[in-house]
Structure 1
Amino acid sequence: MQAVRQNLGGYAVFAAVLAAAGLPIYIHAPKFYVDEYGVSLAALGTVLFGLRLLDVVQDPLLGKLAVAVRRFQGLAIALALAIMAVAMFGLFAIDPPTNPVLWFAVMLTLVFSAFSFLTINFYARGVQKAEALGSGTGHIRLARWRETGALLGVCVASVMPSIFLALAWPEFTAYAIVFALACVLAGLAMQNEWRGRATTLSAGFGPVLKDGVSRRLLLIALVNAAPVAVSSTLFLFFVESRLDAPGWEGPLLLLFFVSAAAAAPVWGTLAERIGAKQALLAAMVLAIIAFSFALFLGSGDTLFFAVICLASGAAVGADLTLLPAIFARRMETVAPNATEGFALWGFVSKFTLAFAAIALLPILEASGFVSGTDNSETALWTLTLLYAGVPCALKLVAIALLVATPLGKE
């Protein structure tokens, strides 16, 4: 009952919709445009990276816009949700009326612009919410609800196309319709949260970038999120071609994200007992162990990969829960009214996905890999090395950075 009064469930629902517009896009969209319209992996990777370069300019401006429209925050949020829903429908449910690559770029620009604006407002409001919940554990409590909701949103969005396909429905059209309905639900769930005191000052990037711990946290977020971006971008290709298990993509994705969602509150509880930094380090080690075993998988090893999905999913539950809570608590200390801090956080999170697309998809294509066909052993080994080896290396770097970062109460 207390959680209902505090509307933590509303934060979970809103986070679920934002998550469904983020990570699953990188799972479904590239393969969808390759299979349906014959777009090359290199072209898609270039577009995705180009959109992230746009964010370098756009996200800071969206942070300033969030401050400028603070008096009409509820209306601005509703408009952004509507734009995101319409663009998602255009991306998946409408045959491109022009060049598919251009259509892909325009629709994703709208999706990600709305996503960025919503994320900045959502996390900035979350700082104030955490204060109301109690300065001691408020950020961890809110993060448990928020990030668990996000993980559940990713779970549902990741497997929806497979479910609709099994029902003989037009899977991505149905996906876009359900997403639009979810946007309406999210708007209703959070409508009362945008009332009252909102961010009233904008100190810009200065307070955030001048703070050494904040800079280090942004760098850790960049490096630590990259493995998830890599594995998410290549997941469908890995299951279909390396494991030779077409049709298992949906169940394995569901297993991965359900494991992450189930583990998220556990990591939050552990962080309250031993500290967020120690809990996060434990999760990073677990991720390395899990991905290292994926290096040795081949055709028919679907069951072994399911175990890896369980372990790596549990590790991701910590990444998505604890790091945002640590950063939000730092913002409360350094720049509680600087929405640009959350613009930086949003940019870092999205840039990792773009990095995976621009760095890995062209390499995979250059190795001779072709989706949905028999591939050479060289191409399959390249896929395996990119999917499992690169995340292990990145996690080691993230561990070193986190160990060297003095977090104090964070």
Structure 2
Amino acid sequence: MSAQAKIVSEQTADTRPAGAAHPERRLSSWLLMAFAAPCIPIAALGLPISLYIPQFYAGPMGLGLGAVGTIFMLARLWDMVTDPLMGFVSDHYPTRWGRRRPWLVISTPLICISTWFVFLPQAPVTTGYLLFWIFVLYLGWTMLTIPHLSWGAELSGDYYQRSRVHGFREAGEIIGVPLVLAIPAVIEQFSTGDFQTIRVASMGLFIIVLLPIAVAINVWSVKERPARPQPKLSFKDALGSLAENRPLRTLVIADAISGSAGSALGALFVYVATHVWGLGSSASLLMLIYFIAGLGFVPLVVRASRRFGKHRTLVGCCAFYVVAPPLTLLIPQGNMLAAAGLMVLLGVNVGGAGVLFRSIMADVADLDELSTGRQRTGVLYSFMALTRKGSGALAVGATFWALQWMGFDPAGDNSAAARNLALLFATVPMVCNLAVMALMWRFPIGAEQQLELRQRLERARSRGEHRKCAESPQLPVD
């Protein structure tokens, strides 16, 4: 049995009050709103980067599909380097202002400058121009998001409050999407120029204005906990402890599978709305309903996690995605009301799954610290981000290969392929979420186990045992 398995499964008989985990003061909603503020502009950045910028550079900017596709593929590979590097650096190099906050401040001008050059391109626009500024933009994005995620896990050691923290983060991310979607809709009513160029430019200006304000609110209002002394840990021991951590493996695999389902649905949605439901002109409105429903579900998911536990609530969220997608086959052609109802059901996982996966990762970080003596929250969250991005990219690729195999033509008549398209839309999330349910049903860290971890961590810190953990991964059991 691994060290992590022993720590989770064995119960201590030590009931001494000294070193016991003390109840934490409830974090105020205002504080959590301030903490989540940067999520709004970051979400507003993510949507156009995925949906509008590639088409903008392949079309009006004249770079072509092949060149733009290659650049964005390289950018994702760049993430594979910068994500774990950022996690490592933010874990290991504290400053007088904290480990996480300085990176948010440093990343803000980097994101704003690169957003200006990507969203409001300056001539001449070449493949080298786009490659350079996209790489800078992705670097700034990583410098902000990985420390911010890690900081969220460290705001509270309480099992339930961690769900509140990530609930506010997820709500901020969801709010950013309709805000940035609303900009083109408003401008379209008053603009007579090149709409595609104006749309992209307006989104960029929105991010450039909002991000510094949001980060300023965050770093001014929220303080970090003081960093503790960290023992040295060899590279071999660091990798070994990650490999032995069964809850970490389970969580990361489940999160990657869940992300695959979401990416596949996103890739298929417009095609389904157009060719299956006959509602292509309402696709944006349906997407807006989807995100608004997701925002409404976030507080319900947080409350449910307090009653049923986080991993069981996650299983319940996945059950929605097993039951709801097959309803796609029952939506009558042109029935907006039925399609909107389905989008409300699908919206539960927009925020619910993200809140719970990230909150559970904070509990896994406690287990990792108890095993190694090091607080490696940044590394763990970067690992989660990396696997989710990779699985999402693979899911989109596999989805489009499947569409090609079934003879689907985005520009042609797809009446014969519509049924297969609907089946694909229904089947992929069903299979993926059944797999997540199977993985997470018996997840070993619940509320009681996490309280035990916190008690053991506080005792280890008070006794100075954290200095011995790197030398002996088999932490003594009380």
TM-score bracket for the superposition, by shorter chain length? 0.7 to 0.9
Q: Are the aligned partners of 1:259 and 1:310 in contact in 2 as well (CA < 8 Å)?
A: yes
Distance 2:276 2:413 in 1: 9
Distance 2:335 2:365 in 1: 44
Letter in 2 for 1:191: V
> Which of residues 263, 267, 288 is equivalent to 2:322?
288
Residue 381 of structure 1: CA displacement?
5.0
Could you tell me which residue of structure 2 aligns to residue 197 of structure 1? 226
Letter in 2 for 1:171: R
Query: Does 1:171 find its partner at 2:199?
Result: yes
Query: Does 1:19 find its partner at 2:58?
Result: no
Matches within 5 A, 1:1-12: 7-12=31-36
Query: C-alpha deviations, 1:244-300, integer Å up to 9, x for none?
Result: 434423221111011011101111001101111221111111112221122455752
Residue 76 of structure 1: CA displacement?
3.2
Q: Superposition RMSD on alpha carbons, in Å?
A: 3.2
Matches within 5 A, 1:10-409: 10-22=34-46, 25-33=49-57, 36=60, 47-67=71-91, 69-71=93-95, 74-94=101-121, 97-99=124-126, 105-131=131-157, 135-168=158-191, 170-192=198-220, 193=222, 197-198=226-227, 201=230, 204-295=238-329, 297=331, 299-335=333-369, 337-338=375-376, 339-361=378-400, 363-364=402-403, 371=410, 373-378=411-416, 380-381=418-419, 383-409=421-447
Distance 1:331 1:236 in 2: 38
SS at match of 2:219: coil
- Counterparts in 2 of 1:320 and 1:167: CA distance versus 1, 3 Å: farther
Q: Are the aligned partners of 1:239 and 1:249 in contact in 2 as well (CA < 8 Å)?
A: yes
TM-score by structure 2 length?
A: 0.74
The unaligned stretches of length 5 or more in structure 1 are none
Q: Are the aligned partners of 1:159 and 1:253 in contact in 2 as well (CA < 8 Å)?
A: no
Distance 1:42 1:390 in 2: 28
Letter in 2 for 1:327: M
Letter in 2 for 1:55: D
Distance 1:111 1:218 in 2: 26
Distance 1:242 1:160 in 2: 28
The unaligned stretches of length 5 or more in structure 2 are 1-25, 451-478
Q: Are the aligned partners of 1:59 and 1:343 in contact in 2 as well (CA < 8 Å)?
A: yes
Distance 2:338 2:420 in 1: 20
Could you tell me which residue of structure 1 aligns to residue 467 of structure 2? none
Distance 1:31 1:268 in 2: 37
Q: Are the aligned partners of 1:27 and 1:236 in contact in 2 as well (CA < 8 Å)?
A: no
Query: C-alpha deviations, 1:80-118, integer Å up to 9, x for none?
Result: 122223333433332774456x65554443333222222
Query: C-alpha deviations, 1:202-233, integer Å up to 9, x for none?
Result: 85555444211011101111001211122223
Q: Are the aligned partners of 2:259 and 2:391 in contact in 1 as well (CA < 8 Å)?
A: yes
Q: Are the aligned partners of 2:63 and 2:126 in contact in 1 as well (CA < 8 Å)?
A: no
SS at match of 1:300: coil
Letter in 2 for 1:128: E
SS at match of 1:137: helix
Q: Are the aligned partners of 1:27 and 1:158 in contact in 2 as well (CA < 8 Å)?
A: no
SS at match of 2:37: helix
- Counterparts in 2 of 1:256 and 1:303: CA distance versus 1, 3 Å: same
Distance 1:35 1:366 in 2: 27
Q: Are the aligned partners of 1:27 and 1:232 in contact in 2 as well (CA < 8 Å)?
A: no
- Between 1:269-278 and 1:388-397, the stretch displaced more is 388-397
Residue 10 of structure 1: CA displacement?
1.3
**Between Structure 1 and Structure 2, how many residues are aligned?**
404
- Between 1:11-20 and 1:178-187, the stretch displaced more is 11-20
Query: C-alpha deviations, 1:139-171, integer Å up to 9, x for none?
Result: 122122222222222332344434433443622
Residue 188 of structure 1: CA displacement?
0.9
- Between 1:220-229 and 1:341-350, the stretch displaced more is 341-350
- Between 1:294-303 and 1:211-220, the stretch displaced more is 294-303
- Between 1:319-328 and 1:163-172, the stretch displaced more is 163-172
- Between 1:76-85 and 1:175-184, the stretch displaced more is 76-85
Segments of 4+ moved more than 6 angstroms? 38-43
Distance 2:225 2:181 in 1: 35
Q: Are the aligned partners of 1:82 and 1:183 in contact in 2 as well (CA < 8 Å)?
A: no
Residue 8 of structure 1: CA displacement?
0.8
